[in-house]
Amino acid sequence: MQWLKRGLLGITGVAILAAVAASMWFWFTPVGVNNYINKVTFKLAIDSPELLTYLGAIDNTPLDFHSGKLADYTKEEEERSIAELRAARAGLNAYGPEGLEGQELLTWKIAAWFFDDLLRQAELRYSGYRVNQISGVTVNLPQFLTDTHVIKNEKSVRRYLSRLAEFGRVLRETHERVIDDRANGVIPPDFVIEKALVGMNKLLRVVQNRIRWSPH
């Protein structure tokens, strides 16, 4: 039995060393522009439960940690996300474009453009109506709950109900953002708000029907 214990300890040690090496290679000090972009993309993705569900890779699996949650829609969270994006864009410069060629250079340029475009959009935070009849949380989230969140068993139903409970919190956070928008001169006409509410009520009725016919 001693040899078995020594063998298991040896295998465990090798696994630990491999895991440490992999984490250093991919996470702490990513090697190459592709690994850096993979790391940044992963970090941005796990901040958004909705995005993870859109991707659909780990919903309703043992790795599912997100599908009973909705994202944080506060101004503070937006500021944190923008700061994280700026850091990601600055970090990209350590991987190019000097010294890159071919596919890696193209990857760097696409990533740089994508980050820069997101940061340009972030500078225009008071340039549109946060809630309207065709977009915003009053449209996108009900559509997400009716069309994207997969209900396949009792556990997924509980997660779905948890997200519905989170919806009220998201609406409160969005209301605070709308007040902030108005203080900065972005004031939508009354008919825009009215149409947005009408659309949300229709979609919420669809959500209620979906719950009624979900598996229990």
48 and 11 in a single domain? The answer is no
96 and 167 in a single domain? The answer is no
1 and 56 in a single domain? The answer is no
Q: How many CB atoms lie within 10 A of CB 144?
A: 18
41 and 116 in a single domain? The answer is yes
Tell me which residue has tokens 């069309």.
Answer: 147
Would you state the pLDDT for residue 113?
94
Helices (H) and strands (E) in the chain, counts: 8, 0
Would you state the pLDDT for residue 133?
77
Which of 70, 97, 125 terminates a domain? The answer is 125
Would you state the pLDDT for residue 78?
92
Which of 125, 148, 181 terminates a domain? The answer is 125
Tell me which residue has tokens 């992963």.
Answer: 42
For the chain, the domain total comes to: 3
215 and 189 in a single domain? The answer is yes
61 and 118 in a single domain? The answer is yes
Would you state the pLDDT for residue 207?
61
Would you state the pLDDT for residue 29?
54
137 and 213 in a single domain? The answer is yes
Taking the chain (216 residues) in runs of 10, the rounded mean pLDDT of each run is 40 37 48 84 84 88 90 93 92 89 91 92 85 82 87 89 90 90 84 69 64 58
Would you state the pLDDT for residue 88?
92
Domain residue limits at 70: 31-125
Tokens standing for residue 53: 């569900």
Q: Which domain CATH number covers 118?
A: 1.20.58
